């Protein structure tokens, strides 16, 4: 019989820190690590299983025989099992076979800290270390200014499996192929960031990656971990930041996963009112257990540290904040103060954000959070949760509802568009048009629009123009940029063939130029989270469905005047008030022919009049295109 040798990576490990939930680099100790002990090469294994009676490593190196390689439990009461197995090397596959002291229950589990997993539907862990040499020193050095809250931040959200398929072989593109095709595309489209829907290993394709089993392993669907690093590196080479979707809110109950790990409720809360998610049929982490907090925060740090991610978009934050989230009366229990807030989860979120920003001050955490919970993106010292940004779901719902209406009725609903400015500066908001809006019968973005084909695309161009000139950062899901007409299908590919048609070419050209416009015009980003960066000219012209406003930068000369005509009726000689006298030049027009607009309504030689209008001393007459946005600056 083979044996594990006594060896420990935990010699400089503060067990008390782990037990207190304050050890945030657990991946350096747990999992499998290829090391040399007394001149013998092999692999060291460590797993946390406090309810175990015995733990064996089973794998292709011992014919999956239980008891061949038993781990030793540490003497310190930590519940950590460890051991060194000679001659186990990179590429060997394994699981932990755990006999529980709870009724001798036997579980066979993948390694929670595995750096690589088998390709689904296989479920074992893979011994792995890569020697990737990063080439992004320049990006990492300058990241602070590219990733800051007062810098342009426009995100292309991508599902790697369905962005584009290799057609002849009907397969995913690999990380290496994406490092060429996707990187060049995002760069050409002038986005500042890309966001990947979860790339951590997941067993079930229809979950889109939101049901994770391998928290420390990039999915093997597209290649090896070092090839994923190469993809990140290539984005950084082009000056593009990489955001990762991160899911600390729930996990699936697959047999090989974290659920009932050592024959006890180790990772999930034992009370189903806190430990089971009815909507997603999944388990919820026990945020009150210190070691679980350490596991999750270590995981957040891992992707920033080992994979050079530039931010984490944290999924389903609302489901973590409230004990009654999606639960009826009697299905939840109040907190100790009689409220509905999940206090332990809130503490975990604050600890996570505090550690992320302490270790990586130049990244961003972004909350997908849909409630009116206060101060989500405010500092912890100010009573906030400490996120860098929060998705502005209210803006998204109101805007899509407005644009779905026939223009003739819009005069009765202008408040839907202006309402967002009442609360736009209460948080650091990101404006999201995400994957959630183009599935389950909600239709593609362009298909939500009324009218014939020209009007649909005119509305699409107008809505994107509003989005890019509205305060806040931007997020657009793949396919939206060229007006994909079918709903997103995670099993297929985007409909790239549509780009042979002018309407789709025009939409793509518009998004490309809006990104460039946003990056160039300081007034659109320098104060994007401050009320100092926005001033209405007129939000009250309901009858004509026209809105006008000023976006302001640090310098008055950078200010941009924006006018939106929300109907298909062009307006000649439309007057707006101006903050001062002078000559104006048109700097953007969403109705240009290159965007498949009419191209007939341009503004040249604009001089202000000393005529009072909209409560301002000066004014100017403009020509407004149908379903168009025009933007101006003083010469």
Domain ranges of the chain: 15-126
Residue 167 binned pLDDT confidence (cut-offs 50, 70, 90): confident
Residue 366's alpha-carbon distances to 6, 313, 315, 390, 474, in angstroms, are: 43, 5, 9, 5, 12
What is the average pLDDT across 380-400? 97
Region of residue 460 (left: phi > 0; alpha: psi -120 to 50; beta: else): alpha
**pLDDT score recorded for residue 199:** 97
Among residues 245, 315, 351, 591, the one annotated as catalytic is 315
Cβ count within 10 A of residue 367: 29
The helix (run of H) or strand (run of E) holding residue 509 is helix 502-520
25: number of CA atoms within 13 Å, CB side? 9
Distance CA 467, CA 153 (A): 13
Q: Per-residue pLDDT tens for 304-334?
A: 999 999 999 999 999 999 999 999 999 999 9
State the Cα–Cα distance between residues 455 and 448, nearest whole angstrom.
Answer: 11
How many whole angstroms separate alpha carbon 573 and alpha carbon 587?
18
Q: CA-CA distances (angstroms) from residue 562 to 509, 538, 605?
A: 20, 11, 17
* 3-state class (DSSP) for residue 468: helix
For the stretch 597-626, pLDDT in tens is 999 999 998 999 999 999 999 999 999 999
Res. 240: pLDDT tops 70: yes
Chain centroid offset of residue 491 CA: 20
Closest CA to 352 of 318, 321, 314: 314
pLDDT at 26: 97
DSSP 8-state code for residue 232: H
CATH superfamily of 15-126: Immunoglobulins (2.60.40.10)
Whether 315 is a known active-site residue: answer: yes
The pLDDT of residue 8 is 81
What's the rounded Cα separation, in Å, for the pair 630 and 623?
Answer: 9
Q: What's the confidence (pLDDT) of residue 7?
A: 77
Residue 53 in contact with residue 100, Cβ under 8 Å?
A: yes
Q: Is the pLDDT of residue 1 over 60?
A: no
181 is catalytic: no
Residue 632's pLDDT is what?
97
Residues 21 and 357: their CA atoms lie apart, in Å, by 18
Q: What is the mean pLDDT of residues 335-355?
A: 97
* C-alpha to C-alpha distance for 137 and 436, rounded to whole angstroms: 35
137 pLDDT more than 90: yes
Whole-number Å distance between alpha carbons of 474 and 63: 52
CA distance 123 to 99: 19
State the number of CA atoms in the 13 A half-sphere of 497 facing the CB: 4
Query: According to the model, what pLDDT value does residue 170 have?
Result: 82
Cα 468 to the chain's mean position, in Å? Answer: 19
Question: Rounded to whole angstroms, what are the CA distances from 572 to 50, 544, 589?
Answer: 75, 12, 15
The phi, psi pair for 602, rounded to 5°, reads -110, 155
For β-strands 618-624 and 165-166, DSSP reports them as unpaired
| Omega within 30 of 0 (cis) for the link into 121 | yes
The DSSP result for 435-449, as a single string, is: GGGGSTTS--TGGGS
Q: What is the dihedral of CA 521, 523, 527, 531, to 10 degrees?
A: -150
- Cβ neighbors of 269 (< 8 A, separation 6 or more) are 275, 284, 285, 286, 287, 288
CB 240 within 8 A of CB 232: no
Between strands 628-634 and 583-589, the pairing is antiparallel
Helix (H, G, I), strand (E, B) or coil at 184: helix
- Active-site pick, 195, 310, 344, 368: 368
DSSP-based helix, strand, coil % in the chain, nearest 5 = 30, 25, 45
Q: Which residues face 276 on adjacent strands?
A: 283
pLDDT > 70? residue 2:
no
Q: Which residue stretches of 311-449 are H helix?
A: 317-321, 343-359, 393-403, 414-418
Band of pLDDT at residue 168, cut at 50, 70 and 90: confident
Averaged pLDDT, 116-121: 96
Instruction: Please report the pLDDT score of residue 140 as a whole number.
Output: 97
Q: CA-based angle 610:611:614, to the nearest 5?
A: 125
- The predicted model gives 274-296 an average pLDDT of 95
* pLDDT for position 35: 95
Whole-angstrom distance, CA of residue 414 vs CA of residue 393? 18
Q: What phi, psi does 303 have (nearest 5°)?
A: -70, -30
User: pLDDT averaged over the chain?
Assistant: 96
What pLDDT, in 10s, does the model give residues 202-232?
Answer: 999 999 999 999 999 999 999 999 999 999 9
What's the rounded Cα separation, in Å, for the pair 584 and 633? 6
DSSP at 624 = E
The band of 11, judged by pLDDT with boundaries at 50, 70 and 90, is confident
Q: Please, are residues 568 and 612 in contact by the beta-carbon 8 Å criterion? A: no
pLDDT reading at 348 higher than 60:
yes
Burial code (b: 16+ CB inside 10 Å, e: under 16) for 110-130 equals bbbbbbbbbebeebbbbbbbe
Asked whether the beta carbons of 197 and 245 are under 8 A apart, the reply is yes
Q: Give tens-digit pLDDT for 490-544.
A: 999 999 999 999 999 999 999 999 999 999 999 999 999 999 999 999 999 999 9
């Amino acid at each position: 019989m083979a044996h594990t040798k006594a060896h420990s990576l935990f010699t400089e490990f503060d067990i008390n820190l782990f037990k207190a939930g304050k050890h945030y680099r657990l991946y350096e100790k747990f999992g499998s690590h290829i090391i040399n002990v007394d001149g013998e090469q092999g692999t060291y294994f460590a797993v946390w299983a406090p309810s175990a009676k015995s733990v064996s490593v089973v794998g292709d190196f011992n014919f999956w025989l239980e008891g061949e390689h038993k781990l030793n439990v540490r003497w310190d009461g930590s519940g950590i099992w460890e051991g060194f197995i000679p001659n186990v090397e990179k590429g060997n596959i394994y699981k932990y076979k755990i006999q529980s002291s709870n009724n001798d229950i036997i579980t066979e589990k993948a390694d929670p800290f595995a750096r690589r997993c088998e390709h689904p539907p296989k479920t074992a862990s893979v011994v792995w270390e890569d020697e990737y040499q990063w080439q992004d020193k320049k990006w990492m050095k300058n990241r602070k200014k590219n990733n800051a809250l007062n810098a342009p931040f426009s995100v292309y959200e991508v599902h790697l499996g369905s962005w584009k398929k290799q057609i002849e072989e009907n397969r995913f593109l690999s990380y290496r192929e994406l490092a060429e095709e996707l990187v060049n595309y995002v760069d050409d489209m002038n986005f500042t960031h890309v966001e990947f829907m979860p790339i951590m290993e997941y067993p079930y394709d229809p979950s889109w990656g939101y049901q994770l089993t391998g928290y420390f392993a990039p999915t093997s669907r597209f290649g090896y971990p070092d090839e994923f690093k190469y993809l990140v590196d290539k984005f950084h080479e082009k000056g593009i930041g990489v955001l990762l979707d991160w899911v600390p809110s729930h996990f699936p109950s697959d047999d090989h996963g974290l659920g009932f790990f050592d024959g006890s409720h180790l990772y999930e809360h034992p009370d189903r009112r806190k430990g089971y998610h009815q909507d997603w049929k999944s388990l919820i982490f026990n945020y009150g257990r210190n070691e679980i907090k350490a596991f999750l925060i270590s995981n957040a740090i891992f992707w920033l540290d080992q994979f050079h991610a530039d931010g984490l978009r944290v999924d389903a934050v609302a489901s973590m904040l409230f004990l009654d989230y999606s639960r009826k009366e009697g299905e939840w229990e109040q907190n100790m103060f009689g409220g509905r807030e999940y206090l332990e989860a809130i503490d975990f979120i604050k600890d996570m954000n505090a550690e992320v920003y302490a270790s990586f001050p130049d990244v961003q955490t972004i909350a997908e959070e849909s409630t009116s919970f206060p101060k989500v993106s405010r500092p912890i010292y100010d009573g906030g949760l400490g996120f860098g940004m929060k998705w502005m779901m209210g803006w998204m719902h109101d805007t899509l509802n407005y644009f779905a209406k026939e223009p003739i009725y819009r005069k009765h609903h202008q408040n839907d568009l202006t309402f967002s400015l009442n609360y736009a500066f209460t948080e650091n908001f990101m404006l999201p048009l995400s994957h959630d809006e183009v599935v389950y019968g909600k239709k593609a973005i362009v298909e939500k629009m009324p009218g014939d084909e020209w009007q649909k695309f005119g509305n699409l161009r107008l809505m994107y123009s509003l989005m890019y000139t509205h305060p806040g950062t931007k997020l657009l899901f793949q396919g939206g940029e060229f007006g994909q007409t079918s709903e997103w299908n995670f099993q297929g590919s985007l409909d790239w063939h549509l780009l042979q048609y002018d309407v789709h070419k025009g939409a793509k050209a518009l998004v490309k130029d809006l990104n460039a416009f946003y990056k160039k015009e300081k007034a659109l980003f320098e104060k994007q989270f401050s009320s100092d960066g926005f001033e209405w000219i007129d939000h009250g012209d309901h009858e004509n469905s026209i809105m006008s406003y000023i976006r302001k930068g640090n310098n008055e000369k950078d200010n941009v005047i924006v006018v939106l005509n929300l109907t298909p009726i062009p307006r000649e000689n439309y007057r707006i008030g101006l903050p001062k006298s002078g000559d104006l030049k048109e700097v953007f027009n969403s109705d240009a022919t290159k965007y498949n607009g009419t191209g007939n309504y341009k503004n040249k030689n604009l001089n202000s009049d000393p005529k009072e209008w909209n409560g301002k001393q000066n004014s100017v007459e403009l020509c407004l295109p149908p379903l168009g946005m025009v933007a101006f600056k003083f010469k």
